[in-house]
Amino acid sequence: MANCTHDCSTCASNCGSREKTSLIKAPHKGTHIKRVIAVASGKGGVGKSLVTSLLAVRAKAAGLKVGILDADITGPSIPKGFGVTARAEGAEDGFYPVTTKSGIKLISMNALLEHEEDPVVWRGSLIAGATLQFWTDVIWDELDILFIDMPPGTGDVPLTVFQSIPLSGVVVVTTPQDLVELIVKKAMGMANLLSLPVLGLVENMSYFTCPDCRKQYEIFGKSKVEELARAYHVPSTARLPVDPAVTEMVNGGRVEEAQTDALAAVFQEILRSREIKDFLA
């Protein structure tokens, strides 16, 4: 609903927001988080983990307390980009996230496996349950923002996250290809169906800048990010270029050294998003 205040106690409408809040799970009792942002797409390989990492790095550089929940249980890549190999430590009533060099807290399946290359061969219900435990059982302490790196698609795990975790909003990642555009529309449609605000649309691999002439080439097709944003009333957009330097940093576990202003507008929209305390009062 357009005028929804997210306070169901003052509303008589039997809308999707009321149904969603009934499924909301509280975080660990030792956790206080102001905003939770899901980074999603309908397709794999578009750069959700990169966008999640860059947004988290930007938030940390702004002086915020930041966490990352890696919800891609079967294909986690967040620890690799940050160069984190530590294992999460348990407590009597939960377990603690690991910490990156700059102080970003993160939890990922790779932080729980004995060997990071071990496969997770689970059915969807188990994967969805593990993702929810990353929210309910991890002792995050105080965070200004928690970013959730979502797996691709609109199946068990995205539905669990969207319905059970009180999100402040969603950032959707796409690339210029026509096929990706179609699938991304499904992800934005799912967010709209569940009354979740899409705060930003990020087009990864949007262009390449020639190092010699500085001319920009749209090597994967013409940009569609502004057109999509207008069609779905998304308030902010970003175009991330193909940048070999950033790729090298991520591959070397040094994503915290990456600097880009391309995500500035999306980050500002995240800061304007609502806090989640109304769900958990």
- Which domains, from first to last, does the chain contain? 23-280 (3.40.50.300)
Cβ atoms within 10 A of the Cβ of 26, count? 11
Q: In which residue are the tokens 């691709």 written?
A: 152
- Which one, of 151, 169, 160, 141, lies nearest residue 35 by Cα? 169
How much is the pLDDT for 13?
52
User: Which pLDDT band holds residue 250 (cuts at 50, 70, 90)?
Assistant: very high
* Whether the Cβ atoms of residue 44 and residue 152 lie closer than 8 Å to each other: yes
Tell me how many degrees the CA angle 216-219-222 measures, rounded to the nearest 5: 85
**What is the rounded CA–CA span in Å between residue 125 and residue 131?**
10
Question: What is the percent of the chain where pLDDT is above 90?
Answer: 59
The answer to whether residue 278 scores a pLDDT higher than 60 is no
- Name the average pLDDT for the chain: 87
Lowest mean pLDDT among 108-122, 166-180, 199-213: 108-122
User: Which pLDDT band holds residue 10 (cuts at 50, 70, 90)?
Assistant: very low
The answer to whether residue 11 scores a pLDDT higher than 60 is no
**What is the rounded CA–CA span in Å between residue 107 and residue 96?**
8
The answer to whether residue 18 scores a pLDDT higher than 60 is no
**What is the rounded CA–CA span in Å between residue 52 and residue 263?**
11
**What is the rounded CA–CA span in Å between residue 82 and residue 201?**
24
> What average pLDDT does the segment 23-44 reach?
90
How much is the pLDDT for 213?
93
> What average pLDDT does the segment 211-234 reach?
91
* Whether the Cβ atoms of residue 147 and residue 55 lie closer than 8 Å to each other: yes
> What average pLDDT does the segment 252-262 reach?
94
The answer to whether residue 227 scores a pLDDT higher than 70 is yes
The answer to whether residue 164 scores a pLDDT higher than 50 is yes
Q: Tell me the backbone φ, ψ of residue 138, rounded to 5 degrees.
A: -90, 135
* Whether the Cβ atoms of residue 103 and residue 272 lie closer than 8 Å to each other: no
> What's the maximum distance between 2 C-alpha atoms anywhere in the chain?
62
> What average pLDDT does the segment 182-197 reach?
86
How much is the pLDDT for 15?
59
pLDDT one-digit tens code per residue, 53-78: 999 999 999 999 999 999 998 888 89
Question: By three-state DSSP, how is residue 233 classified?
Answer: coil
How much is the pLDDT for 60?
97
Question: What is the percent of the chain where pLDDT is above 70?
Answer: 90
End-to-end CA distance of the chain: 22
How much is the pLDDT for 4?
58
* Whether the Cβ atoms of residue 64 and residue 144 lie closer than 8 Å to each other: yes
**Residue 100: both structure tokens together:** 């990156």
> What average pLDDT does the segment 36-61 reach?
93
The answer to whether residue 224 scores a pLDDT higher than 50 is yes
More confident residue, 45 or 230: 230
How far CA 101 is from CA of 117, 120, 215, 263, in Å, comes to 22, 27, 35, 22
